[in-house]
Structure 1
């Protein structure tokens, strides 16, 4: 029986696109001698030009499976997410930072709502840049801005690559989790790298084209993060060289300003905790979370939680300073999300209750409030930096 039998079946055109990507991945495996590291497989599944999940035409972001989407993000869930970020960003813009640069802009909802909120705060940036490689997502972002903030759309520019130098505020919501990870398995005290190979269709009842394949790792080739994994019990986990390399590139780019990254994850001590034996790899398809990265290549998201200690250390390597690290709930409450919500009339239940329910999901430990974290990193902007979002509950010491 197909592993995805309990999930919605994609339409014929989507299945055809997935088959084309599978063929592309299969050729890459053959060219590599029959085995690809999982990071390479994940990169192809998500970003292969014209075929990958983020480079193709899948809906991705939305409220539920009925709109063809796979997951919802905080900016889509509530405008109060962007409005609260604006309360943190406005004082920084007032101190001379004139630009905002966003990664992972999705549908453009965060950009539109941030600009509208910063306009209300009286601190519009002179320029709002979005780094976006996907033509399909760029078009969605342009449409969102044209609809939600048409008078501010001229301030927005799209970039294909990181600028060489940037001074201002950098923001990324759910960017790091979509960066390819390497997989490792420790079995009977021995580390193996978990890669991907073609699967013999007769080997089991699955019709997936690919499967996991493990290779021994020499001790001197083992990523440094894994040397600190306690015990000798069997475990599967990830390392994040690409996300850490991205952080170093951002640090090199930033000449002055602050970086805010929001994502789900843990400090290293929690990430590599002895009880987290199965790793954090997860896939999202039509608002169903499941663990099979080989289901419908190109039609589902593949993610891993973020090791924020690794991100902090990479940032430090690039000369950045950790200015704060907190749960999303604590950051948003510190920055004033409840005050913003209470500006609504509680007696106007038609407007107040949906807004309050959405904010509750942003804050609840059972939803996004605790699993999601916010890390802020700065360069040459510390002396007068009012980071209200970390005024209470800062966990920088845990990194």
Structure 2
């Protein structure tokens, strides 16, 4: 692999150990492409780049989560920005536990453990009755970071935490997933001269590149035609089979309680829009966003925005009720984040100013407040939660 052929000038190069890991992953991917006739669907490539054992982005040793590129990280999530995020989310989680009469919490993709430790402490302070906090995470390296974080920040509650290697067939309680759906593999499709193709990955001269092939599946072709995207100009987009399957699995597993999924994305009529002609695929490396998924495979994050109408349909089809859907800003304000901020003394500048700046990022339309959405499903909960009492957008799905 010649990484300089992909590397934008503004992005730092990885060290020799990390680069060797990336090259080992590329060799495996190229071998798989060769074994399958010279082409790989993009969702398979994305799965290998993110989750290949020991070499993928989430299964390897990359730092991933952090505040600055200097610490080796690639992006920051809401729990890393402010403890007020977890403290506020704990309120609807506690309300869902109470309304469903359940006593267990499960988190998917717990990152560094900041959200888990924050939820544990806040639930305890709220007096919420919970017995266990289960974490589902594919990364052994992240599991260790989560243990260290929880032991440091919520030591008294650490004995309630367990890590699951497999999902239970049934679960009663509250499920939380923050920025989980966007990291699930997507399929890519490209319309050229009015004809739809599936966009996959080929290898040429040691380099990975995109290659489009005619659609063999009438189902895929029919779905894309039915979207009726305005005009006939060239167009690139994604479909989200993995995220839909995940949602169906979780909502089938849930026998009583609620599921909260927080991520960036749009309802279907905004997602498949003529103005979104380049799709939403995005990569994150050293806190820079770019569009090249072949830059340092295994060392950068690859994501796509979530199509929330499909997520809603998947959950309801699995038998769950749609509990609510709204912007992150409205959800957090309904749940009391501004009251939590006001509890910090404004004259205490070293504490108040960073907290206020973080809340501004969580709520601002120009930051995370509008792009990020919260969708929730439930079983055995009558009525709605306070966090969806105002500004619910379920009707827009």
Which of residues 54, 60, 75 is equivalent to 1:56? 60
SS of the counterpart of 1:85? helix
Structure 1 residues 28-177: aligned runs within 5 Å: 28-95=32-99, 96-177=101-182
Residue segments in structure 1 that go unaligned for 5+ positions in a row: 202-208
Q: Does structure 1 residue 211 correspond to structure 2 residue 209? A: yes
CA distance in 2, matches of 1:301, 1:229: 31
CA distance in 2, matches of 1:144, 1:335: 25
Superposition deviation, residue 233 in structure 1: 2.2
Superposition deviation, residue 225 in structure 1: 4.3
SS of the counterpart of 2:189? strand
What TM-score, normalized to structure 1?
0.96
Structure 1 residues 1-399: aligned runs within 5 Å: 2-4=5-7, 5-95=9-99, 96-200=101-205, 209-218=207-216, 220-222=218-220, 225-226=223-224, 227-231=226-230, 232-381=232-381, 383=382, 385-399=383-397
SS of the counterpart of 1:313? helix
Asked whether the equivalents of residues 280 and 304 of structure 1 are also in contact (C-alpha less than 8 Å), the reply is: yes
Tell me: CA distance 1:219–1:136, structure 2 relative to 1, closer, same or farther (3 Å).
closer
Alpha-carbon displacement from aligned partner over 1:329-364 (angstroms, at most 9, x marks no partner): 010001110001101111111211110000100001
Alpha-carbon displacement from aligned partner over 1:117-157 (angstroms, at most 9, x marks no partner): 11110114100000112110100000000110111100001
Alpha-carbon displacement from aligned partner over 1:167-195 (angstroms, at most 9, x marks no partner): 00000000000000000001111000000
Superposition deviation, residue 327 in structure 1: 0.5
Superposition deviation, residue 392 in structure 1: 1.2
CA distance in 2, matches of 1:146, 1:89: 22
CA distance in 1, matches of 2:223, 2:155: 46
Alpha-carbon displacement from aligned partner over 1:260-318 (angstroms, at most 9, x marks no partner): 00000000000001111000000000000000000000000000000000101111110
Residue segments in structure 2 that go unaligned for 5+ positions in a row: none
Alpha-carbon displacement from aligned partner over 1:80-131 (angstroms, at most 9, x marks no partner): 1001111111222233110000001000110000010111101141000001
CA distance in 2, matches of 1:49, 1:61: 19
Asked whether the equivalents of residues 259 and 377 of structure 1 are also in contact (C-alpha less than 8 Å), the reply is: yes
* Deviant stretches of 4+, over 4 Å: none
SS of the counterpart of 2:274? coil
SS of the counterpart of 2:59? coil
Asked whether the equivalents of residues 268 and 307 of structure 2 are also in contact (C-alpha less than 8 Å), the reply is: yes
SS of the counterpart of 2:89? helix
Superposition deviation, residue 388 in structure 1: 1.1
